[in-house]
């Protein structure tokens, strides 16, 4: 492999100028000597640690583990804090800030003397955001995934992050368990550092970072507190120094095959619907555009083999013990391109050599899949001309062909006010619609797509019904819910025009979602439509609402998705 002729950081640190003198002087101020940094690759460790991000609470230690590896390999490590995007606490949604972290990562690398980057992330949006930034700035980058937290057990029963909270909350709303029983899961649900340990967005996106080649192969499956996780971090530090010497930047590593492999992996994981948005955005940053059709094609031929909640019954720690991602990928080796490159300098196929699947339930063999087609389906139709997504592996198959009258909620507050009203005109055939909660309308497309089953139907034993929205849904959640409807209602998509009582027809097999209203009537409604009161007048949210693109192309900003690599800064 071709060795990097000149380090990027040399412009700052080797220059025989007043500025070069100042840069060296200021590094010496921090206690380092010339032999610590001169002529060495400078490795920026971008750390999303925060006390309001419990998924990343081990990242201070992991940064030290990475530094150890960087020193050993002859690099010079520097740690830089970046925004954390802790899923549990940021409102209305971390997705509003994914592009903010992406810009921050791009700019923090671009403006500093950094030759290679180690990206410490894992909680949902941190993974795509950091990779988007790294792709745009195009310096060699390795991702150190936070790893899933340890499995949660309550009264002998495994609790999947997010998933079982919804199950038990519904049980309580239906009066089948007490408030005290529900409250008790607070104590047991999250017992270590690490991200959600169901196959939610975090587990999905870190696995996709892995198959895209941004991690040591299999790193995403290692539980956060396991000593192998610390050793993986050190090894990542050693690896990135070598990647800098070999100039293994994202533009050289990524290919169309990388992204097609990621789509196939998403399907076999039964992974999060959010990954569709993030993969679209990542591929467009790389100039290797995926479209929703790529997901539809993969969905038709890749079976779900990962038996992990919410689609299956196990948790991420079980997945790791069953062989983790390498074992899963080996099962679909004929459906992925093993020639795709990784940050290690080896191909995906070389990395998979020796992968072993332990047992045949957590990672299923091809002969006994969890589902014989992919976990997600892409739908289009008069209600979603640009497309939308349903997690069919976590939905009720008896609802896959359904016609029913719409009941429309205009935003979260409207839904919360009316949903449990005993007089709500709703039956199990009704199609619940939640709109004005998309990328612009939300703002940020919050995970409000899990529209609760109305209380009076829960009491009748209804556990699923067709729901449609321009919002997203947590990857840990489930139900027959049509998500990411594009174009969204807040910009005048057809979802804005549907009214109570209109007949909605869903046909997952035919990949259709339609509403039955005449063209004339639709034109009348369009002429009467007014923009909803969702627009902000200042700050980040205004910038977001003015520039965010549709979910059908990944919700990136129009001025960010192209134009990499970002230009080198001038130095006086
Ligand atoms: Fe961080 Fe779920 S809260 S991954």
- State yes or no: pLDDT of 220 exceeds 60: yes
* pLDDT for the residue numbered 349: 97
- Which residue of 94, 123, 447 sits with most ligand 1 atoms within 8 Å of its CB, as the best mutation to test the pocket? 123
For residues 441 and 538, give the distance between their C-alpha atoms in angstroms, rounded to a whole number: 15
Whether the pLDDT of residue 4 is over 80: the answer is no
**pLDDT confidence of 181, banded at 50, 70, 90?**
confident
206 C-alpha to ligand 1 centroid (Å) = 12
* Spatial separation of the C-alpha atoms in residues 93 and 447, rounded to whole Å: 7
Decide: helix, strand or coil at residue 175. Answer: coil
Q: Which atom of ligand 1 is nearest to the CA of 124?
A: 4
Least confident of 105-109, 208-212, 254-258, 389-393: 389-393
Convert the pLDDT of each residue in 375-411 to its tens digit: 899 999 999 999 999 999 889 999 999 999 999 999 9
C-alpha angle 107-108-109 in degrees, rounded to nearest 5: 90
Q: What are the φ/ψ torsions at residue 218 (nearest 5 degrees)?
A: 95, -5
Per residue in 236-255, pLDDT tens? 999 999 999 999 999 999 99
Report the distance separating Cα 16 and Cα 21, nearest Å. 7
Cis peptide before 321 (omega within 30 of 0): no
- Dist. CA 305–CA 46, nearest whole Å: 33
- Residue 493 CB partners (closer than 8 Å, separation 6+): 384, 385, 386, 438, 470, 485, 486, 487
pLDDT at 165 over 70: yes
How far, in Å, from the CA of 476 to the mean position of ligand 1?
10
At 3, the pLDDT band (50, 70, 90 cuts) reads low
**Ligand 1: centre distance to CA 51 (Å):** 14
Atom 1 in ligand 1: which residue has the minimum CA distance?
Answer: 123
Share of the chain above pLDDT 90, in %: 87
Q: Which atom of ligand 1 is nearest to the CA of 161?
A: 2
| Span from the CA of 295 to the centroid of ligand 1 (angstroms) | 24
pLDDT of 488 strictly over 60? yes
Tell me the backbone φ, ψ of residue 80, rounded to 5 degrees: -130, 125
Where is 260: in which H helix or E strand? helix 256-269
Classify strands 401-410 and 503-507 as parallel, antiparallel or unpaired.
Answer: antiparallel
Residue 516 pLDDT grade (very low, low, confident, very high; cuts 50, 70, 90): very high
Whose C-alpha lies nearest to ligand 1, atom 3? Answer: 87
Do 69 and 234 meet the contact criterion of CB atoms below 8 Å apart?
A: yes
Tokens of 137: 């700035």
Residue range 412-465, pLDDT digits in tens: 999 999 999 999 999 999 999 999 999 999 999 999 999 999 989 988 999 999
Q: Are strands 157-159 and 377-381 parallel, antiparallel or unpaired?
A: unpaired
Q: What are the tens digits of pLDDT across the range 109-134? A: 999 999 999 999 999 999 999 999 99
Phi-psi region of 569 (alpha: psi -120 to 50; beta: other; left: phi over 0): beta
Taking each helix axis as running N to C, give the angle between helix 201-211 and helix 256-269, from 0 to 180 degrees, rounded to the nearest 10. 150
Pairing verdict, β 467-469 and 42-47: unpaired
Distance 392 CA to ligand 1 centre (A): 22
Q: Residue 563 pLDDT > 80, yes or no?
A: no
The residue nearest atom 2 of ligand 1, judged by CA position, is 196
d(CA 571, CA 111): 10
Once rounded to an integer, what is the mean pLDDT over residues 137-152? 97
Question: For residue 154, with 0-12 CB atoms within 10 Å meaning exposed, 13-18 middle and 19 or more buried, which class applies?
Answer: middle
Burial class (CB within 10 angstroms; exposed 0-12, middle 13-18, buried 19+) of 395: buried
The string of pLDDT tens digits covering residues 30-50 is 999 999 999 999 999 999 999
Rounded Cα distance between 354 and 328, Å, is 12
Burial 514-551 (b: 16+ CB within 10 A, else e): bbebeeeeeeeeeeeeeebebeeeeeebeebbeebbbb
Ligand 1 site: residues with CB under 6 angstroms? 55, 87-88, 123-124, 161, 195-196, 200, 202
Q: Please report the sign of the dihedral spanned by the C-alpha atoms of residue 118, residue 124, residue 129, residue 131.
A: positive
Q: How many angstroms is it from 301 CA to the middle of ligand 1?
A: 30
DSSP 342-405: -TTSSBHHHHHTT----SSSSB--TTS-SBSS-S-EEEEETTEEEEEEE-GGGS-GGGSEEEEE
**Ligand 1 center–CA 91 separation, angstroms:** 14
Sign (positive or negative) of CA dihedral 484, 486, 489, 495: negative
If you measure from the C-alpha of residue 200 to the centroid of ligand 1, how many angstroms do you get, rounded to a whole number? 8
With a cut of 80, say whether residue 2 has pLDDT above it: no
Among 191, 195, 475, which is best to mutate for testing ligand 1, by the most ligand atoms less than 8 A from CB? Answer: 195
Q: For residue 360, what pLDDT is reported?
A: 96
pLDDT 10s digits, 307-330: 999 999 999 999 999 999 999 999
0.85 exceeded by pTM? yes
């Amino acid at each position: 492999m071709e060795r990097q002729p000149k380090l990027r950081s040399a412009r700052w640190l080797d220059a025989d100028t007043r500025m070069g003198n100042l840069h060296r002087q200021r590094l010496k101020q921090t206690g380092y000597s010339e032999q610590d940094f001169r002529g060495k690759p400078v490795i920026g460790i971008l750390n999303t640690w925060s006390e309001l991000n419990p998924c990343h609470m081990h990242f201070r230690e992991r940064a030290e583990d990475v530094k150890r590896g960087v020193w050993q390999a002859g690099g010079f490590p520097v740690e830089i804090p970046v925004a954390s995007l802790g899923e549990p606490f940021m409102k209305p949604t971390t997705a509003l800030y994914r592009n903010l972290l992406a810009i921050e990562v791009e700019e923090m690398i671009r403006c500093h003397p950094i030759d290679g980057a180690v990206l410490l992330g894992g909680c949902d949006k941190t993974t795509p955001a950091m990779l988007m930034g790294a792709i745009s700035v195009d310096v060699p980058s390795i991702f150190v995934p936070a790893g899933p937290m340890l499995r949660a057990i309550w009264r002998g029963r495994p609790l999947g992050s997010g998933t079982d909270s919804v199950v038990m909350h519904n049980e309580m709303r239906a009066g089948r368990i007490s408030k005290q029983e529900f409250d008790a899961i607070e104590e047991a649900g999250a017992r270590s550092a690490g991200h959600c340990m169901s196959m939610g967005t975090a587990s999905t996106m870190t696995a996709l970072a892995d198959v895209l080649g941004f991690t040591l192969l299999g790193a995403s499956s290692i539980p956060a507190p396991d000593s192998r996780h610390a050793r993986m971090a050190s090894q990542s530090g050693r690896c990135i120094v070598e990647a800098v010497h070999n100039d293994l930047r994202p533009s050289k590593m990524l290919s169309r095959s990388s992204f097609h492999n990621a789509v196939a992996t998403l399907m076999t994981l039964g992974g999060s619907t959010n990954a569709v948005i993030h993969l679209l955005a990542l591929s467009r940053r790389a100039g290797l555009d995926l479209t929703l059709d790529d997901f539809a094609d993969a969905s038709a031929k890749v079976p779900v083999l990962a038996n992990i909640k919410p689609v299956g019954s196990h948790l991420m720690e079980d997945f790791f013990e069953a062989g983790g991602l390498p074992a899963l990928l080996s099962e679909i080796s004929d459906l992925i391109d093993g020639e795709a490159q990784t940050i290690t300098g080896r191909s995906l196929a070389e990395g998979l050599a020796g992968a072993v699947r332990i047992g045949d339930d957590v990672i299923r063999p091809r002969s006994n899949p969890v589902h014989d087609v992919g976990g997600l389906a892409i739908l289009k139709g008069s209600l979603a001309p640009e497309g939308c997504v349903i997690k069919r592996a976590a939905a009720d198959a008896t609802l896959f062909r359904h016609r029913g009258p719409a009941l429309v909620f205009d935003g979260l507050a409207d839904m919360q006010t009316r949903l449990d009203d005993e007089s709500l005109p709703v039956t199990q055939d009704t199609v619940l619609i939640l709109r004005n909660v998309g990328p612009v309308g939300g703002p940020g497309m919050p995970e409000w797509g899990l529209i609760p089953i109305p209380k009076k139907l829960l009491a009748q034993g209804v556990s699923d019904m067709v729901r449609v929205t321009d919002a997203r849904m947590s990857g840990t959640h489930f139900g027959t819910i049509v998500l990411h409807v594009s174009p969204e209602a807040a910009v005048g998509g057809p979802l804005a025009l549907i009214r109570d009582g209109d007949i909605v027809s869903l046909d997952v097999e035919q990949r259709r979602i339609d509403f039955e209203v005449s063209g004339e009537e639709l034109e009348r409604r369009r002429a009467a439509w007014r923009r909803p009161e969702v627009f902000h007048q200042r700050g980040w949210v205004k910038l977001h609402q003015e520039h965010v693109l549709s979910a059908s192309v990944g919700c990136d900003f129009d001025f960010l998705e192209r134009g990499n690599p970002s230009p080198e800064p001038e130095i006086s």
